Amino acid sequence: MMQKSPAYLLLLIVLSCSLVSKGQESVQQGKIEIHTGDEGCQHFMQDNRIYAYGLDTMSQVRFWGAIIKMSPDSGIMNLASNRMILKKMTTKEYNRLTEARKDSLRTALRATYMIPSSEPIFFSAGKNDFYNVSGVMSSIDKGIRIFENENTDPFYAQAILLIESPGKCGRSYCGAVGSFQLMRAVAKNMGLQVNKYVDERRDFDRSAWAAAKLIRTICIPYTNKMLEDRGIAYDPADLWYRLLILHVYHAGAGNVARALDVINTCDGNIDLIKKLWQTKAGNFGLASQNYSQVALANLIELDKVIKETAKDIRFIDTGNKTTGSLDTPRSGEGN
């Protein structure tokens, strides 16, 4: 087996580890109000712990940050284990290659980066035909209000709308429908009408109401029980906790529980989410691993769009705004 070179190992460390110095920065998270010339006043959720934890430097997040802005006619050769970007090329150029030439390309990339032959290399096409941060901003503002009215953390409205079907009410390959991509049985259990005459999943307000109810009455209680059963301390305002809820929303509590069993940790922190990115268990597979990675990439892109377009940005939710050192542990919380 080919040994990994010191340069390759150093690159993995740089791409995979949070910046220690950022752990001392103050944090700020909560609801912001922005004013633009075109849309007037809009509200969003902002959390600079994404940057304080160095998540914007993670190879997985950087990969998805590139993919969501890249058109389908271009793509990225990437390392499956951590999504490290190896080469960018056009989709047409890649598709023209025979299987033998594709294997030769992967062999050349392994030689360049000293990657073992056991590690798969993917080609992933761009997805800016689906992800559209600017186009979904008005829906986020509306979703935040609905989630707040339902006493549900509005962070989830923003994240789900960015990940799922922005500005669309399409049907996914697995049968999920609407801006919050609800399955038929789940939607009906949450109180929506879904029959041959009407499908309330296609109504934004009703779909948002049902998604808020799903998170409040199913995702959060089941997640709390999973954590408590494993002796993992948590705070619902923690970023890692919110990302874990997103995984439960997408994959289901049972599959996330199986993944947590594989990880087998008593520490609740951002490292738990990073370990989920490397864990497969039950039906918790690649798409499940990707979910919070895609969320973070879109949240970072949303921050960029806001900074570029807003004439005025102000924090208005002081109840969710915190400042302090990130490395100050809570009682019973892992470092």
Predicted pLDDT of residue 175:
76
Same domain, 201 and 269: yes
Same domain, 227 and 273: yes
Q: How far apart are CA 123 and CA 78, in angstroms?
A: 6
Give a yes or no: residue 53 inside a domain. yes
Same domain, 107 and 119: yes
In 3-state terms, what secondary structure has residue 239?
helix
Give a yes or no: residue 64 inside a domain. yes
Same domain, 93 and 236: no
Give a yes or no: residue 305 inside a domain. yes
Rounded (10°) CA dihedral 65, 243, 284, 275: 80
In 3-state terms, what secondary structure has residue 118?
coil
DSSP 137: H
Same domain, 40 and 57: yes
Residue 87, beta-bridge partner list? 77
Show the domain range for 117.
71-126
Same domain, 195 and 279: yes
CB 276 within 8 A of CB 24: no
Predicted pLDDT of residue 315:
87
Residues of the chain with pLDDT under 70: 1-27, 38-39, 165-170, 173, 317-335
Of the three residues 126, 161, 191, the one that is the final residue of a domain is 126
Same domain, 238 and 104: no
Identify the burial level of 153 via C-beta atoms within 10 angstroms of its C-beta, where 0-12 means exposed, 13-18 middle and 19 or more buried.
buried
String of DSSP letters for 94-108: HHTS-HHHHHHHHHH
Predicted pLDDT of residue 311:
87
Give a yes or no: residue 325 inside a domain. no
Give a yes or no: residue 222 inside a domain. yes
Chain mean pLDDT for the chain: 87
CB 73 within 8 A of CB 92: yes
Predicted pLDDT of residue 84:
98
Predicted pLDDT of residue 316:
85
Same domain, 267 and 302: yes
Give a yes or no: residue 1 inside a domain. no
Same domain, 84 and 173: no
Give a yes or no: residue 203 inside a domain. yes
Same domain, 140 and 249: yes
Same domain, 134 and 115: no
As for how many domains the chain has, the answer is 2
CB 57 within 8 A of CB 19: yes
CATH for 242? 1.10.530.10
Task: Using the CB atoms, write b or e for 248-266: b if 16+ within 10 Å.
Answer: bbbbbbebbbbbbeeeeee
Same domain, 102 and 15: no
Give a yes or no: residue 334 inside a domain. no
